[in-house]
């Protein structure tokens, strides 16, 4: 887009800095004449359908038909399938452009993982998606009244799973255990092992002549 945003790091949202060819193209486009005019439309609620689908899937996986036959599920299905602009009305949560709690973002995330957290909330069962400790979404995936009491007790203060795609590994644990590990008051064995493996891979570099 040839636009500079002050105090922004494009690498934090998945992009890389422009290389030499990018810089040459930018310089050309900034000085070229008669390039015409373009129009770009951005749908700010682009993530609604994805979060609705994720919430329906997680709700069914955890609570079965009691979750998918609920009013909450009906709201999620409407957000998923309808083309109406107000289809997501009644769907509770926060999207990509919602102002984020930076402390919570780092506390519930791992720079090398995708994390899914499920916890109890006064409004129902909340699902939190955290990608690389930089992006975060929250959506209500079930009503407490529609969920079996024993399954709610299992959630306790919250549970989640961290997905390390590049390592082909996942770790399931409680929110309390992960937060304790993040704050260094407790060392989670699996997470410590994964951190060691990631550090080893990051330090494994080729020398200039191609030898290891």
Instruction: Give the other-Cβ count within 10 Å of 8's Cβ.
Output: 10
What is the predicted pLDDT for the residue at 91? Answer: 85
Q: Work out the mean pLDDT of the chain and round it to a whole number.
A: 85
Q: Is the pLDDT of residue 14 over 60?
A: yes
**Confidence band of 209 (pLDDT split at 50, 70, 90):** very low
Locate 7 and state its tokens.
């105090």
The answer to whether the predicted template modeling score (pTM) of the entire model surpasses 0.95 is no
Sign of CA dihedral 43, 9, 169, 107: negative
CA–CA separation, 179 and 53 (whole Å): 27
Any idea where the domains of the chain sit in the sequence? 94-202
């Amino acid at each position: 887009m040839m636009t500079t945003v002050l105090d922004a790091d494009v690498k934090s949202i998945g992009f890389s800095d422009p290389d030499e060819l990018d810089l040459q193209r930018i310089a050309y486009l900034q000085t070229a004449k008669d390039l015409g005019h373009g129009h770009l439309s951005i749908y700010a609620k682009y993530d609604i359908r994805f979060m609705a689908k994720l919430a329906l899937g997680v709700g069914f996986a955890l609570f079965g038909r009691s979750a998918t036959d609920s009013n909450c599920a009906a709201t999620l299905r409407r957000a998923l399938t309808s083309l109406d602009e107000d289809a997501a009305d009644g769907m509770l949560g926060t999207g990509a452009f919602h102002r984020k709690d930076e402390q919570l973002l780092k506390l519930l995330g791992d720079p090398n993982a995708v994390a899914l957290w499920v916890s109890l909330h006064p409004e129902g069962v909340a699902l939190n998606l955290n990608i690389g400790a930089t992006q975060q979404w929250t959506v209500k995936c079930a009503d407490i009244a529609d969920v079996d009491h024993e399954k709610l007790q299992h959630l306790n203060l919250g549970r989640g799973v961290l997905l390390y795609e590049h390592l082909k590994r996942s770790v399931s644990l409680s929110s309390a255990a992960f937060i304790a590990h993040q704050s260094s008051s407790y060392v989670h064995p699996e997470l410590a092992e994964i951190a060691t493996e990631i550090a080893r891979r990051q330090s494994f570099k080729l020398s200039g002549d191609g030898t290891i």
